[in-house]
Structure 1
Amino acid sequence: MKFCLLVLLATVATTAAYTPHSPPSSRRTVLNKASALITSLTILTPTISSAGDIKQCKAKASNCLSTLNTGTKWTSKKSQSAAASDLEAVLKSYPQEGQNGIDGGGYTIVSGSLSGSDPEATVEYKSSGTGNMAKYFNGGKPFVDDLNVKVNTNGEVEWSSSSRVGDSDFGVNAKRVAFIENGLREKGWKF
């Protein structure tokens, strides 16, 4: 989407240089104008991603888990809306103060919704930001991880949980996924 927008704007910019009422421009001038436009738009245009956008982890990544890598989907044998309701209840039961030594900065559902005809969401989890790793490697700011979930029409859930920075998450994503899986098992889900 972003690339298409940039190509379109570059085309408009170069076409405008050849309008009949303007003095002729050199090819270099046209290319310089187009290059400047593309560069500024690349910097100013935010990356667009939808809620529940399930990403595949990079090969041998130790800071990411995903159904696209593990093949493990959360299966409910329930309707899409019932599965989405179960998942939403489990996600909201996650303690804001964190659990099992992780996510001390809480969580926020930042986009999407698990109610409606296309249940998908992105949940942002934050570390407390007080540990040595945050102090020395992240400027004292909390580490942020994203959980993306999408409930399919057959009641299966595709998901990915990944850290935004770093090469390792020290098992944080696995602990979070285990908490969610345990909550879903209590509701009769199978894995």
Structure 2
Amino acid sequence: MTADFSGGILTTNGLANSLGLQQTSTCSGCAAGSVSGKVLFDQSLIPGSGTGTVNIALAAVTGASNSTIFDIDFGSRPLGFEFGNGDVLGGPSIQFNNGVFNGFFFVKDFVADGKTYELSMQGANWTMNWLKSNSSSQLVAAGYLNVGNQGLTSQAYFDPSLPATELPNNRIPEPTVLALVMVGMLGIFMTRRHKQTYAAA
């Protein structure tokens, strides 16, 4: 099953502007942009009610790109991560609480502008911290994901047997298709012109 998800940025500090998570460099605390992404998960693994909080690890799927399996973007630039990125310390896992979408478990270190950061998602909440040294860090931004029964939107079944060109999200025609359409239109034009030439004679 593929689905979209979204959320927001609640708090920004210090270096958030350099990551595109803040409106201006002088407006500390003025969040910019939002959080959005998509996920591919096995619907049959969703636990039932009364099971508490359960993390289900996302895994590679034949016929699915890494960005189809898990892709998340933060802020106005955006700052993005996807399944298979290096430096993942934990996850990504989709999280359910009593059978209802509850966010993700995902921990990743990344480098931007020569500084090392850590993104940590625990359920519906996420934080980004600047890792100053081995023993200290500073909050850069924090936010949330929309969870619950309405947290996963645009749900659709994923069929790995379909080639990528047949997936519904691919709406851009291939160059060869465009060329064939143009040749067909040229043929119609030439036929009409040819008939007009004989009609005039």
For the criterion TM > 0.5, the same-fold answer is no
TM-score range, shorter chain: under 0.3
TM-score (norm 2): 0.26
- Of the two, which has the highest radius of gyration? 2
Structure with more helix by fraction? 1
Structure with more strand by fraction? 2
TM-score (norm 1): 0.27
